Chain A
Amino acid sequence: MALTLKQQLSSPGGILKFLVKYNTIFIFIVLVIFSALISDVFLTSVNLSNLLKQVSGLGIISIGMLIVILTGGIDLSVGSMVALLAVIFALLVNMVILPVAILLTIIIGFSLGSVSGYLVAYQKMAPFVATLALMTIARGLGFIYSKGSPITFKTPGGEFMSNFANNSTLGIPNIAIVFFIIVIMTMVMLRYNVFGRLIIAIGSNEEASRLSGIKVNKYKFLVYAISGALAATAAIIVASRTNLGSPNMGMAWELDAIAAVVIGGASLNGGRGTAINTLMGVLILGLIGNILNLLNVPSYPQQVVKGVIIIFAVLLQRFESK
């Protein structure tokens, strides 16, 4: 084989390249060190476990967002879906036994996601438009079903969930464990499973995928459905933490989820992104909020800082792709 391109082991700027390549993890570590230095509360287990609890819900929908974005799409409905599904879960918890409530909520999430998926994959609607419509529909339904006010858990099942959501196992909050399991499953799926490989292929060149005999529509449909199911999972977690389902939950979460995915280096054009980096993106967003809270920075400056970090992260990535 004519391998003339000799791979040299070391090259000048190797370390810099490494940092650029793994910039999300790098930013994360820098932020952790920085936070630990400026606040002595930061590294306490109470604070860290709070931080993890806060990001888990957002984290789960961010994973859904990631797999949608990998195909070159976007799912704007996830925030409202969390609200609607939290309301539905609260209603169900008060009506049927817990396993059924959980299962039904996830099935409903999957079905609602399927509606977006159907519109995008089979009706060729732009993902932005289809999911924007779903976003307002879900929010509206949330208010209708809850009659505008939060619905509290009233059954032993609800109590069980609320205990589960607020407790830890081996020092890690249970809901963070759920989130991490989802991250790991997604990681494995994207690397070692045909489904993951195919959605990445579709996102990087849809026409070539079609002509490779890939069922492009089926996979595009499925990613939205899965995103819906993950929104349901997030909704269950978020509702359980507060012991209620409210139509005001998940406000603008779709934007945070997109931000997390983008900070994690995924391309909005599709075909590029990993679960581990999205996890980093979620943690970075959570960290920023956490440390600014600890420093008593009000919420408006927090938003500014968040925006600046997003720009910074994406600029670093452009540097990488050169």
Chain B
Amino acid sequence: MKTSESEYRVEMTGISKCFGVVKVLENVNIKVKPGEIHALLGENGAGKSTLIKILSGVHPKDSGKIVLNGKEINPKNPHEGQVLGISVVYQELSLVNDLSVAENIYLHKLGSRKFWMNWKKITQDAQELIDSLGFKIDASAKVRSLSIVQKQVVEIAKALSEDTKVLVLDEPTTVFDPTDIKKLFENLFKLKEKGISIIYISHHLDEIFKIADSVTVLRDGVDTGSMAVSDTNKDGVIRLMIGRELKDLFPVRDVKIGEVPILEVKNLTAKNTLVHDVSFSVRPGEVLGIAGLGGSGRTETAKLIFGADKKKSGTLILNGKEIKTKSPVDAAGHQIGFVSEDRKEEGVFLPLSIRRNISVTNFDSISSKLGFINVDNEYKKVLGLIEKLNIKTPNSEINVKNLSGGNQQKVALAKWLSIDSKVIFIDEPTRGVDVGAKIEIYKLINEVAKKGVGVVVISSDMPEIMGISDRILVMHKGTFYGELQKDQFSEENILRYSIGEPLKQ
């Protein structure tokens, strides 16, 4: 066994990778020292996740070399990667819904050790692990019952084990609110002190400048070099990522907001969730932001109105008329739309092509009375949306599961933003979307609003929700705690309401 004096914990050099005929990575290099947090940046589809999956053994590389602790490695599957000390929190959740939190956390350790497992002890250990991370989750709960934020925490807990040498986090905070992010960062700093190397992928550049030591930017599968974070700034990184300057992240809104509410919600209370006594209204042309901590009931509120969850009481008034939304079918019939935050489970059809995904909500405009689809129109519509949202793909027939995460998000959005709605709820609109594409999505939201649609945006991303909303409602423990007008927008104010405190005078 050869040990070198290299100062790096892990070195990937000259990595190239093709999927079929599509070249995804070309001669990429990345090196991380022990105790270093290394940010990996790049546009949607740049190849970040693919690089990580090569490191961990999910995908084989076509060429290049991976060196861990001075020794060349070639993990052939994720299990081998894990045994070597490479732990990854993948971009898409990969938990087993029907197992408990504890079982999921220790699942990958099964096969390797003893025949019998002491489940009681494992549940205890898992509980301790989660507690030590500072989150509140019951280790014996079934994963199915968790919120998406909690699932993400379980993913992180699962990746941590005593022999982790390299920890990779692929966009871990897309569903986190600021307090969750803070907790995660504290944990990362602790790991860093222990000498663990961390590779951190995110489209939230602020995060990078808070925690990373060094950064590598990928552009279209080629690395543009690595540097210390102190040697660059946000604009510099963006220039490397997208090859141009970015001016205004939030496009100016010149929408006329109607006087009469398009949707009024009165005293809505859920049957099975914590949502209660929710009242608000949204006007045509308005972008209404819903802020709040993870688990405060934002998603549940949207689902309740959309008919995906059961209501106990309350009324909905659309255009002055009371409506009932017992199911999403009813809601869609009333032209209410809903884009889920959980794109993999609830948003897109992974095994189907981009075209088939987008068409699903668009049949009214592309088919005849008898339900026959005008394929020309279909292509026109879909290709138009691919171009408009800058979905990175060779053509419309690629299956969505082969798109990068951010591009999948764009497909999920395209499904709803392309149809005529009266009100649309968008839960985390830019989850996993790169800075350049975010602007396109914000523009699209504005365009939709301009048509007189009431747009309700749920977001944990503070700059985003302040940048695009006309008004923000803040949820706390299942109901709205307060409302902020544009001149009151600030992170502090949102956070105060989120934790159930009044504003400072």
Contact = CB atoms under 8 A, between A and B. Distances in A.
B299 to A, nearest CB: 12
Nearest to A5: B22
Given A192-B372, A192-B375, A211 B349 contact: no
Interface of B: 20-24, 43, 45, 220-221, 306, 308, 327-329, 331-333, 338, 340, 345-352, 356, 359-361, 363, 367, 370-373, 375, 386-387, 390, 392-395, 415
Given A212-B332, A212-B415, A194 B363 contact: yes
B386 A1 contact: yes
A209 interface: yes
A201 interface: yes
Interface stretch (A6-14, A41-49, A179-187, A280-288): A6-14
Interface in A257-285: 271-272
Contact of A11 (B21, B331, B338): B21
Contacts of B346: 205, 207-208, 211
B22 A1 contact: no
Contacts of A3: 392-394
B386 A201 contact: no
Nearest to A205: B349
A207 B345 contact: yes
A4 interface: yes
A213 interface: yes
Nearest to B416: A212
Interface residues of A, number: 30
Contact of B394 (A5, A201, A207): A5
Contact of A209 (B20, B360, B393): B360
A124 B351 CA distance: 24
A193 to B, nearest CB: 5
A195 to B, nearest CB: 6
Contacts of A170: none
Contacts of A208: 340, 345-349
- With a 10 A CB-CB cut-off, give which of A3, A198, A200, A208 has the most chain B CB atoms: A208
Contacts of A209: 349, 360
A214 B415 CA distance: 13
Contacts of A152: none
Given A6-B23, A207-B345, A214 B390 contact: no
A147 interface: no
A211 B347 CA distance: 8
A204 interface: yes
Interface in A1-47: 1-8, 11
Contact of A193 (B22, B333, B372): B372
Nearest to B338: A211
A205 B390 contact: no
- With a 10 A CB-CB cut-off, give which of B333, B371, B390 has the most chain A CB atoms: B371
A154 interface: no
A209 B23 CA distance: 33
A192 B328 CA distance: 25
Nearest to B334: A213
Contacts of A7: 21-22, 394-395
Given A2-B390, A213-B331, A193 B371 contact: yes
Contacts of B373: 192-194, 197
Interface in A277-316: none
Given A3-B393, A214-B329, 18 more contacts: A1-B386, A1-B387, A1-B390, A6-B22, A193-B370, A193-B371, A193-B372, A195-B371, A197-B360, A200-B356, A201-B349, A204-B352, A205-B348, A208-B345, A208-B348, A211-B347, A212-B360, A271-B349
A8 B338 CA distance: 38
Contacts of A271: 349, 351-352
Contact of B359 (A5, A6, A197): A197
Nearest to B330: A213
A13 to B, nearest CB: 10
Given A201-B356, A212-B415, A272 B22 contact: no
8 contacts: A3-B394, A194-B363, A194-B371, A197-B359, A205-B346, A212-B360, A271-B349, A272-B351
A6 B18 CA distance: 11
Contacts of B361: 212-213
B371 A213 contact: no
A6 B306 CA distance: 41
Contacts of A198: 360
B371 A4 contact: no
A210 B332 CA distance: 10
A7 B21 CA distance: 6
A1 B221 CA distance: 16
Contacts of A1: 386-387, 390
A1 B393 CA distance: 9
